[in-house]
Amino acid sequence: MTAQILDGAAIAADIRAEVARRAASVTGQGIRPGLAAVLVGDNPASISYVSAKARACEEAGIFAETFRLGADSPREEVLRLIQDLNADERFHGILPQLPLPPHIDETEVIDSIDPRKDVDGLHPVNLGRLLRGVTTGAIPCTPNGVMEMLRRSGNDPAGKHVVVVGRSTLVGRPLAVLLSNKAEGANATVTICHTGTPDIGAHTRQADIVVVAAGRPKTLTADMVRPGAVVIDVGTNRIDDATRKRGWRLVGDADFPEVKEVASWITPVPGGVGPMTIAMLLVNTVRAAERRLDITA
């Protein structure tokens, strides 16, 4: 058996086309969706990510502006900028690009965002609503992207056993909540594994669907996967590769060459979950603008 490739780039393209139609509709009613990105420092990866998000916004008809601060900017300056953006009606979404410099408390910055403009879905108000089963607001982008990939590829998690490897607030925990919700396209039985789990493979071998988000290459190997299982690889890791001109390449958390010979479906890295994360950021932004339109109507 060789797994079918779950093409996140193709699914993301469909979602971005849907977002563009929604953005055009909102703009036609007098409110152009707007996203403010906050970039603190000059981390090359962060600059690249913000640029990619800005291009995606432009293609979808969303106004985007990046606000840059120096790496040594005091926390007060970052928080003051967030407050200014909270009050700026041009923007329906605020995105602080993570990670922030070590002297800036990421939690404090996220908590300072108006929950209505939190397009990452990480504000405690939005996470609390998610725990209640409310999915009409901002949902964390990567977990929501995973849900869309499963649904749109015909791998409905309903009634399935899903094992999530990773317990971060960014991916693992909100994804477990989404999967277990009593809702269409959810209704899964969910197990969360993490660094404190003595034998992760004992759990993943029982899974119909495995989502690995551990941040470590080869966390999931072929012997840990039940034949025919679906594998969603959230990891993005840079490893040395002397055969590449740049000297490195990106891999996920799964041992892709081996696991794809056991699984029925598998996401590639790159080209899997990554494009979905950006697509769902656009969804959250246009959804925030639509809510604003409802308020002003």
CA 51 to chain centre: 16
| Pairing state between β 237-240 and 248-251 | antiparallel
Q: Which fold has domain 141-274?
A: Rossmann fold (3.40.50)
The Cα–Cα gap between 290 and 202 comes to 45
Give me the residue label for tokens 């800005």. Answer: 54
Residue 19 sits at φ, ψ, to 5 deg, of -60, -40
**Per residue in 84-112, is it b (16+ CB within 10 Å) or e — as a string?**
ebbeeeebbbbbbbeebbeebeeeebbbb
For the annotated catalytic residues, the residue numbers are 53, 97, 120
Shared fold status for 31-114 and 141-274: yes
**Taking the domains of the chain in order of start, what are their residue ranges?**
31-114, 141-274
Q: How many helices (H) and strands (E) does the chain have?
A: 10, 11
- CATH homologous superfamily for the domain 31-114: Leucine Dehydrogenase, chain A, domain 1 (3.40.50.10860)
Cα separation values, 250 from 84, 146, 236, 241, 288, Å: 37, 19, 6, 9, 33
pTM, rounded to two decimals: 0.95
What averages of pLDDT result for each successive group of 10 residues across the chain (297 residues)?
Answer: 94 98 97 97 89 96 97 97 98 96 96 97 96 92 98 97 97 97 96 96 98 96 98 93 86 97 97 96 97 74
- CA–CA gap between residue 33 and residue 27 (Å, rounded): 7
> What digits encode the pLDDT tens for the residues 107-126?
999 999 999 999 999 999 99
Q: Which percentage of the chain shows pLDDT scores above 70?
A: 99
